[in-house]
Amino acid sequence: MKSIYSIIAVTVLIFSYGCKKQLYKDPIGLLTPDQINTDPKLGTVKSSVVSSYQMLSNTLNLLGEWQWDGGTVTRNDFVLQDIASGDMQKKWNPDGDQAWMDQYANFSFTAANGGFNGQWSYDFEGVSRTNLSISYLTDPAITSKIGIDETLRKKLLGEVYFLRAYYYFELVNNFGDVPLLLKPLKDFAEAYKVAKREKKEVVLEQISKDLAEAKTLLPNTKFSDDAEKWRVSKGAVMALQAKVALYGKKWADVIAIVTELEGLNFYRLNANYFDNFSVAKEFADEEVIFSYDHQSGKNPRNGNGLCALQGWGFIAPTTNFVNAFEANDPRLLYTADIANQACYKLLGTTTTSNKGNDDAPNNKIFIRMADVLLWKAEAYMQNNNLPAAIGIINAIRARARTSPSVAGPLPPAGTLPDRNIATTDKALVNTWLVSERRVELGFESHRFYDLKRWETAKTVLVAMGKNFQDKNYLYPIPQGEIDKSGGTIIQNTGF
């Protein structure tokens, strides 16, 4: 079987006079007949599922070799979300290295910026891989021939339905309307039909459908596989369902789903804030719901390359972000240790031992319970149940003030006092919520998404001196994808 890992473009290629020079290239999302194994073995099917996770990793050079200008050296979450939000700057000592990243700090980018190509490429390659797995696992002839156990088949299918939903949720929140690919494409005739943008609402419907399917297929246990705890669980599915409802402002649904998730008794706030990120606590903590399992020394490599970038001076806080923390909040040094120029949350240890390591073992955290509980607090607030919202905010603050600092001792008495539970000022509670999300989840690639869905991005970022405009609520479709489509994919307004 020809490896689908070699597919290096995202949308399909159209036979048009305007792009003849592109016709020799394989497009991502297009699996030609010689790339599809019509007679797979059980091992092939299992491997296809494992490969569907890979586009979530920070491993270096999964797509191409040091293609910085194409934005594919690693996932660009920290650029498109953390730098764009005003929380992060590219380097501790600003320089001209990778100047394309600086364009996100001041919103001076064009559609040709490689960061968009990187995000698009990773997500659509993930979609392509999940579609291949789904095609295997839903084909009765194949599943019968390989003799796969039905319980295993359902579990693997639940995993890839979740992953496809996750990749598409990123795509619609970054780009809006996007091509909707639901099966491997066998020829250019099929490619032509899908080389167009589908309405965001339609894509969101498919996301919800995939998640509903996944929930019925995965076991009612904390880990779907005790031997491989990194795999998608039912809890991860429910958490993403709650997030989809949150972004859709379906407040009652958010409360109901999170309440159901809590009822599983699988997840709660860790007593120690840093246990979420410590290599030593991976899959043994109580809070992390979904993460990517980086491992050192594997072939092919599967380490966390974001640690290498820290060794090269990348990933530094802005002054505005540092100033958002209250006095003695231990979360600040875990996120940005200015003296040692380190982000321990992203290194997996409270030393700099992983700084510069291009094959580090620490996981990438996508969903943890503190984030989910703050979604519920937001929903309570929007439904005018302010005491319930404040209670959750105070629980998050209590965990922070009872967590040891990087140096070891607990914060001094009086750190992070409870918010007034009797407050009836909804605007004030909203200010507390916004503040708590920023410091609790700093550098975890949530802030820019938050600012956009709250529709406050323009106000907040312009106040920080950034050139944010209304068009920036969506990122542009990568210009290369517009060009290769021969005009069937239309660019976002303003680009």
83-130: pLDDT as tens digits: 999 999 999 998 999 999 999 999 999 999 999 999 999 999 999 999
1-217+456-472 topology per CATH: 1.25.40
Residue 309 has pLDDT above 60, yes or no: yes
Q: What is the pLDDT of residue 486?
A: 84
Thinking of the domain 249-441, which architecture would CATH place it in? Answer: Alpha Horseshoe (1.25)
Q: What is the pLDDT of residue 26?
A: 41
Q: What is the pLDDT of residue 31?
A: 46
Residue 35 has pLDDT above 90, yes or no: no
Share of the chain above pLDDT 90, in %: 89
Binned at pLDDT 50, 70 and 90, residue 19 comes out as: very low
Residue 219 vs residue 39, higher pLDDT:
219
Share of the chain above pLDDT 70, in %: 92
- For every residue of the chain, which 3-state class applies, written as one string? CCCHHHCCCCCCCCCCHHHHHHCCCCCCCECCHHHCCCCCCHHHHHHHHHHHHHHHCCCCCCCCCCCHHHCCCCCCHHHHHHHHHCCEEEECCCCCCCHHHHHHHHCCCCCCCHHHHHHHHHHHHHHHHHHHHHHHHCCHHHHHHHCCCHHHHHHHHHHHHHHHHHHHHHHHHHHCCECCCCCCECCHHHHHHHCCCECHHHHHHHHHHHHHHHHHHCCCCCCCCCCCCCCCCHHHHHHHHHHHHHHCCCHHHHHHHHHHHHHCCCCCCCCCHHHHCCHHHCCCCCCEEEEECCECCCCCCECECHHHHHHCCEEEECHHHHCCCCCCCCHHHHHCECCCCECHHHCCCCCCCCCCCCCECCCEEEEEHHHHHHHHHHHHHHCCCHHHHHHHHHHHHHHHHCCCCCCCCCCCCCCCCCCCCCCCCHHHHHHHHHHHHHHHCCCCCCHHHHHHHCCCHHHHHHHCCCCCCHHHHCCCCCHHHHHHCCCCCCCCCCC
Q: What is the mean pLDDT of residues 231-252?
A: 98
Cα 254 from Cα 248, distance rounded (Å): 10
Side chain identity, residue 426: K
| pTM score of the predicted model | 0.93
Q: What is the pLDDT of residue 485?
A: 86
Residue extents of the structural domains in the chain = 1-217+456-472, 249-441
Q: What is the pLDDT of residue 39?
A: 83
Q: What is the pLDDT of residue 186?
A: 76
442-479: pLDDT as tens digits: 999 999 999 999 999 999 999 999 999 999 999 999 99
Q: What is the pLDDT of residue 188?
A: 66
335-353: pLDDT as tens digits: 999 999 999 999 999 999 9
Q: What is the pLDDT of residue 4?
A: 28
Residue 13 has pLDDT above 90, yes or no: no
287-301: pLDDT as tens digits: 999 999 999 999 999
Distances in Å between the alpha carbon of 474 and those of 82, 122, 176, 288? 15, 18, 6, 29
Do residues 421 and 390 lie in contact, with contact meaning Cβ atoms separated by under 8 Å? yes
Binned at pLDDT 50, 70 and 90, residue 22 comes out as: very low
The tokens for 50 are: 């494992």
Residue 255 has pLDDT above 60, yes or no: yes
261-272: pLDDT as tens digits: 999 999 999 999
Q: What is the pLDDT of residue 470?
A: 98
Q: What is the pLDDT of residue 7?
A: 32
41-69: pLDDT as tens digits: 999 999 999 999 999 999 999 999 999 99
Q: Do domains 1-217+456-472 and 249-441 have the same CATH topology?
A: yes
Place of tokens 């914060």: 411
